[in-house]
Amino acid sequence: MVTDVGRVVEFETGLRWRVLFPELEHVAASGYLRDLAASDCSAGTLRSYAYDLLRWFRFLHGRWTPWDRAERIDVREFVEWLRETPVQQRVRRRPDVPAPGSVNPLTGKTSLGTMYAARTINHQLSVLFGFYEWACAADLGPLVNPVPAQRTRSAGRVAAHHNPMEDFVIHQRARYRQKTPHPTWRAIPDDAADALFGALRSHRDRALVSFWLSSGVRASELLGLRHGGDLDAGAKTITVVSKGSRLRETVPASVDSFVWLALYLQEGPPVEHGGPVWWTRQGTPRPLTYHAARAVLQRANASLGTNWTLHDLRHTAAARLLADPAFTLFDVQTILRHASISTTQIYTQPRLEDLVAKVLEHHARPRPARPVIEPTYDESMVRELLGLPA
């Protein structure tokens, strides 16, 4: 039985995210998270790892097992628990939220399932493996890491001496690792994108969606724009902090995006050098967060009966760029700022709706007529010349 003891707390000074378990700061978890912070991991990564550690500590607490006495069998039963236990946040959904695992009839997209996804379980195992590796090196935990390591069939470190021009290939899954589906993508059709844009309620929302559709930047990257250097209306570019590298990179955007931005700025949001570009519209202005931006899209989805996500807008931008013969695959990789070209190649896969249209067109096309012998030729002589039966 897994209890609700412990929690993850955000601090303003020092280590930003910490695990309190049961009520005091977990020294080992903080040491590991502090090590990650010193390795230049983002605050979002630290928060995610903290919650993964808390889930593991709660599981062990229900088994009366200290974290530094965990064994391989505990990891196995933890994976079994993750595979069989529903996610409580999805079970306690609002009445207007679609049932987990249901398919939206308009978009064809499946909502998140009730159980933990395979990628979530694999991420959990990766976090625990790193945590115990750090604990072993610091002489805090067991002598042997209880979490199986991810290894290839060949000896040595994963991806050692990897050729950067080739895809990463894991030849063998580590024990307890789940099979993950092949990565897919979903762009919003043009007519659906127009309907989504028409359902937005303000110039701010239209400017946001227009930038996402034209530049392909991630949702959090666009929300991080600041006045005084991130916007260049003359060059039609924006400068964002990339999610992975956290480098400031310039990305082109459409003219329409800057027009909607100008209309939004005329409404009077706070504008100060170095301050956020995007603000809330109700009550006292506050910087627009990711969850607030997602709520904007959810309101539009509710009016249309769809379930598009913010990341679908990035997929749509990639699909539109790749559909233009003026752009090469490397051009799109540069705009999307993918570290590997193999990630950009995912967007070259045909979409199901495109294949359906092609198949229907194929079956509707009349069959070509069979070749016949021209009436002006003697049929018997032609057959004898070609060696055909009479």
Q: How many other C-beta atoms can be found within 10 angstroms of the C-beta atom of residue 302? A: 13
Cis previous bond, 66, omega within 30: no
Exactly one of 32, 49, 176, 347 is catalytic; which is it?
347
Q: SS3 of 252, please?
A: strand
Active-site residue 18, yes or no? no
The SS3 assignment for 34 reads: helix
Catalytic annotation, pick one of 26, 186, 314, 315? 314
Cα separation, 271 vs 319, in Å, equals 34
Measured CA to CA, the distance from residue 205 to residue 174 in angstroms comes to 44
Of the candidates 22, 243, 28, 31, which has an alpha carbon nearest to the alpha carbon of residue 14?
31
Q: For this structure, is 179 an active site residue?
A: no
Residue 387 CA to residue 390 CA, distance in Å, equals 9
Active site residue 218: yes
User: At CA 43, angle to CA 37 and CA 47, rounded to 5?
Assistant: 100
Q: Is 220 exposed, middle or buried (0-12, 13-18, 19+ CB in 10 A)?
A: middle
Contact call for residues 128 and 147 (beta carbons, < 8 A)? yes
Catalytic residue, chosen from 206, 218, 320, 337, is: 218
How many CB atoms sit inside 10 A of residue 187's CB? 21
Indicate the Cα dihedral angle 109, 295, 180, 72, nearest 10°.
-150
CB-count exposure of residue 196 (10 Å: 0-12, 13-18, 19+):
buried
* Bridge partners for 19 per DSSP: 8
Closest alpha carbon to 147 in 63, 73, 54, 47:
73
Please pick, among 311, 358, 377, 383, the residue that the annotation labels catalytic. 311
Residue ranges in 142-233 assigned as alpha helix (H): 190-198, 203-215, 219-223
Q: Based on the residue annotation, tell me whether 347 is a catalytic residue of this protein.
A: yes
Strands 17-20, 7-10: pairing kind? antiparallel
The two structure tokens encoding residue 79: 């994976």
311 is catalytic: yes
SS3 content of the chain, % helix, strand, coil (to 5): 45, 5, 45
- AA identity, residue 186: R
Cα 259 to chain centroid, rounded? 29
Active site positions, annotated: 218, 243, 311, 314, 338, 347
